[in-house]
Amino acid sequence: MTEEHSRLFAPFITPPAEWKNAEDYEFLTFILHAKTDNCLSCGATMHYGDVYRAFGHKNAPPHDSFRRLVPVNFPLPHKVPVVHFSLPPRDVPLCPHCLHSTREGQVTYLVSDEKAWQKALAEARAVQHNLRKTGGETASRPKLSPDDIPG
């Protein structure tokens, strides 16, 4: 990344302040994880990707794989370099296209956006915390899935 890019993107290439030992990390690059899903129900192929800011530990040896990725939620200018990783295609049992076209009337939407999803997860965690507190569950931390969301 050029010095001009570094100056323009300083707020975006600084490690998140909430990281423990954030000062020990430095910005490496932007990364695109290109993904392909093949639907087993309708045969459709979906291509999409996630963009991340990659940070490495300053004291890590060269070519060390100790990296931390932070999702990017802002548009990147065309001249900013991006490392492209094409991840292996994966088979999925159902895709958004066949969900809406073949299962009309059978779909229930619990959450519609990221904010609603985070709120639902927080509510599910609060319920589980209260159960553990009152002895309704063991002290081990359960993994959450969409099925755990109340409502």
Residues 6+ away with beta carbon under 8 Å from 141: none
- Would you state the pLDDT for residue 37? 96
Report yes or no: 125 and 145 within 8 Å, Cβ to Cβ.
Answer: no
Tokens 């290439």, located at residue: 13
In 15-113, where does DSSP find H-type helix?
96-102
Rg (CA), the chain: 20
pLDDT tens for each residue of 104-141: 656 666 677 788 888 878 887 888 877 777 766 544 55
pLDDT tens for each residue of 23-68: 888 888 899 999 999 999 889 999 999 999 988 888 877 666 668 8
- Would you state the pLDDT for residue 142? 56
Q: Does 89 or 100 have the greater pLDDT score?
A: 89
- What is the domain partition of the chain in residue ranges? 1-95, 104-151
pTM flag (> 0.85): no
